[in-house]
Amino acid sequence: MAQRIGDFLSGYLNTLSKGLSAKPSMEDVERLRLELNRLQMVTGAAAAMDPWIAPTFLNGWINYGSVYNPAGYFREAGIVYLRGLVKSGTIGLSVFTLPAGYRPEFRELFVATSNAALGRCDITVAGAVLASVGNNNWFSLDGITFRASGQ
């Protein structure tokens, strides 16, 4: 089955490439993007995104709850993504620890929103996700991304 899909995709891409000009126009690029999306749907070749991993909280931190993102992380193509609105823990201590393979090569510092003010979230090489500066009424991890170290 995989061989047939591979052969089909190779032949199809070969046919498409013959129809493209030497320097593809925006229309060519858009046409190719639409065709690849269609092929992924037909063949089931679309890569499933990794699920969010719920962390084990430390130092009194918990999910804020309600309609806000629960804390979580995942990695895709070497990039680690964090999300979540947390509360009630101790500022300056770890919210949770990322496992090996999800840690940065060097300490990363991020501006974070915390109780409608600016805070700071640090990610250490040991994987500690620290609410370094802010307020524990609520602290946002949404939008934090960084490259995982090669280890």
Among residues 122, 123, 120, which one has the least CA distance to residue 104?
A: 123
Which residues constitute the domain of residue 37?
Answer: 2-43
Residue 78 shares a structural domain with residue 32: no
- Chain segment 56-104, per-residue pLDDT in tens: 999 999 999 989 999 999 999 999 999 999 999 999 999 999 999 999 9
Residue 26 shares a structural domain with residue 66: no
The structural domain count of the chain equals 2
Residue 66 shares a structural domain with residue 140: yes
Residue 103 shares a structural domain with residue 138: yes
- Chain segment 100-147, per-residue pLDDT in tens: 999 999 999 999 999 999 999 999 999 999 999 999 999 999 999 999
Residue 6 shares a structural domain with residue 66: no
Asked whether 52 and 102 are in contact (CB, 8 A), the reply is: no
Work out the angle at residue 84's Cα, subtended by the Cα atoms of residues 83 and 90, and round it to the nearest 5 degrees.
120
Residue 38 shares a structural domain with residue 66: no
Contact partners, residue 31, CB within 8 Å, separation at least 6 = none
Residue 69 shares a structural domain with residue 138: yes
Residue 66 shares a structural domain with residue 39: no
Task: Identify the CATH number of the domain in which residue 138 sits.
Answer: 2.60.40.1830
- Chain segment 8-41, per-residue pLDDT in tens: 655 655 665 666 556 667 776 666 666 766 666 6
Residue 66 shares a structural domain with residue 37: no
User: Is 93 contained in some domain?
Assistant: yes
Residue 67 shares a structural domain with residue 26: no
Residue 140 shares a structural domain with residue 92: yes
Residue 75 shares a structural domain with residue 115: yes
